Amino acid sequence: MPLRAIIFDFNGVIADDETPHFLMFQQALREEGLSLTREDYYGAYLGMEERNCLASLLTKAGGPRDPARAQRIHDRKVALFRAYTATHKPELFPGVAEFVLQAGSRHRLAVASGGKREQIADALRGTPLERAFRLIVAAEDTTVGKPDPEIYLLTLGKLNETPPRPEPPLKAADCLVIEDSLAGIQSAKAAGMTVVGVATTYPAAALQEADAVYPSLGAVSLAQIEQLFRD
């Protein structure tokens, strides 16, 4: 069965911005009297959509459920990240632009990210990839985050609705997902998709649930990726 669509996670796959996301989240939590260590973030929360991550942190901290506090922390983190990236634009990983542009000449491309749409658009603006993706599905489009498969199933449905509509319609088995976290890999696998892990955030040994793992997109060719659908 040939490969027909490639769906990319964004943070840690396309843009090298996981560290500022962590630091701004950490600061927003600190202002509310909550702590988040680097070990906890990268060990348990990275790859999760921020609402899930925040809900887990607040549950861990104890106390009554407080949606207003959760929204306040979320909004503060978004504002901090916006201010930071206004003067520190996230860079694309080396080799990513070349890989994506070549892939776009052969396959339908989409982004499926637990990040905010505004942050994705800002990171892509002014780069060779500003108009490379047929579809971007972001945190605002989902009700639950990774590792739940919702975002990848939603992306599949939207790809089938985006003109020109594919004929026959895309199925999960036609799609490849590229992820940098275990939560993302589990999300895509639960959606029935083939997954490539890139060891840009975690060591390769932590990504072994993927169908293949590479150091980065700059270290793999499109032909190698396509071979996964011929074996």
Give the CATH number of the domain where residue 53 resides. 1.10.150
Q: Which helix (H) or strand (E) holds 137?
A: strand 135-137
Say yes or no: 98 and 127 in one domain: yes
Residues 182 and 96 in one domain: yes
Q: Of 87, 106, 132, which residue constitutes the final position of a domain?
A: 87
Q: Cβ contacts of residue 8 below 8 Å, gap of 6+?
A: 14, 100, 109, 110, 111, 112, 133, 177, 178
Q: Which among 71, 87, 103 is the end of a domain?
A: 87
β-pair type (108-112, 194-198) = unpaired
**124/136 same-domain check:** yes
117 shares a domain with 22: no
Single pTM value for the model: 0.86
Parent domain of 58 = 18-87
What size, in residues, is the chain?
A: 231
Residue 95 and residue 187 share a domain = yes
- The tally of domains found in the chain comes to 2
For residues 111 and 188, state if they share a domain: yes
- Same-domain check for residues 128 and 202: yes
Per-residue pLDDT tens listing for the chain (231 residues):
799 999 999 999 999 988 888 899 899 989 998 888 888 887 766 666 677 777 777 777 666 678 888 899 989 998 999 999 889 989 999 999 999 999 999 999 999 998 889 999 999 999 999 999 999 999 899 988 889 999 999 999 999 999 999 999 999 999 999 999 999 999 999 999 999 999 999 999 999 999 999 999 999 999 999 999 986
